[in-house]
Chains A and B, each alone.
Chain A
């Protein structure tokens, strides 16, 4: 019989529960800290986006408020947005119109509760895990909450009672539904490898294997990244806003702070997705090339170091989000749909089958989930990456402007047009 590696991989021994008041106080501290850092970070992201976009375009970006880097620009923007007039158009559905920004904002805040941001701390009061809520289903919770954000956008579009806003909302819901599936599917290989849905266990698995998941499951990472872009409505998937087509899409009718909620939630979602990418594929808070942090709790300095490492990884992905935004143009709607349903979903499904078969094979050979196991995965992965990026990606991932005409169709069209051009001078005689 095959030893059951899936359950062997689950090596989490539940920590002894903390006394209630210790738990309570530390949870409150963690909540306050995470919320503060998160909100300030999101505010600074708006500045980062403007700065990086400016640099990419050869400009300087905001530099009038708060020194050469414009560090007080987010504060100035916040004050401006609060002072502005709140417009409430007469034709909107008022309760839903007011509810929509909150519905977009709250899930964006919630998702961070379950993301571990540091190594557990062995303090004198017991082991403090560096995650606000250590849910056993943490990972599923994030996925569920992340897809709740679409309600805000759809309701904003619908309650605005405006054609452009409605179209934005419709596009958003279609986009979310299409990419949600690919995103979920792309993460199944990660779960298969880790054998658990707790984010801390996924980090442990990567630490034990000494190889980040991005190297063993590159295609999962690729699909997850693309889907995350679609989920956060970032370019090249910003069809719900699409300012050149839909004015401002779903937030056309919003002003002042209600409007500001939507960009804030977009940036918050971006930060969440980046943190998830760092956790699931890049080893999370694990300090590279060391072992002491993934066996048990560590001292305070190492905790700080692990938090710093996690932040660096997250910030890198946030940078990638911004970088891509100022590189790629927007997809056409049909390209968006065909990419989601015809490329991402089949790719993810096929990948699940291949990875599951590989894992089964490796387990059958009796390999333990260690470095050797990772190397074997790496070899399989290298082949798959070459197949996907150099054979599949030959004009097939995104359909070009003329659609996927076969050579036969093209030659038939050519025949028709040449026949026409032969005919026309004769008829002119």
Chain B
């Protein structure tokens, strides 16, 4: 696949483990996470609440709590983020990596005007002259599809709709001319038609500027429709990494298959097949596979055998990684292959 070339990835997270002893957690928030985003690539990061999606994004900006115990590396353009001094980090956050959050209103100061929000970072962090900053802000607002930008610059966040505030936040995220965009549930709070508009704007700028984008969402269908490649996280670990199309058509990890079988899909009236139990909290520790308690095809060994992400050896052109003992057993030539155990089909209605 073209995206997985030998060129150094724009974002390279390697074996990242994050523990939060202060929070009283019994397992790491992130546990050996490997993740790559190349230039010009949209990479999805999918999982339920508590799976570590947002923590991964925060690690990219080195915004983890002070008492976090961190092992592993996070590199943006080859530079190690976790070892950066305050000044370099500030430069990274201002100019190289931008983040768009779920709730755009909480990103903006409610008593400052839209224009102030856009220009003050350009003036103070990027050292532009106020007049230049203002001109650039107007350009950015126009670029994200906001009409009458002069008027919007004078308005306050509460005077704009949710979709429009999210556009303003995206304009601000593009102000520093970043290489990497982190979108953390950036469209989850929006109506479906507004969501499509924001996604179209993000895609347009991502493609035009060749940005790498890490697109975090709880919505597997959205990730499959919007991203080039998708990582699925569970209990702080990456359990599967595939091209979006293959993930959707032929999930290899039982959790991914379970997520697909329990996510309602328009035009598919077959009964939903819920995954029993609930997503693990930080109080749940695991000796083996974290999904074992909810997995329909788990075996006794899965409780103690820790699966590590491993290349899928199936087809010639198949790519990707899955962390499942059963997939391991199936792919390995041997006398007693466990056949088809990890494939869960939706139950017919």
Instruction: Tell me, yes or no, whether A binds B.
Output: no
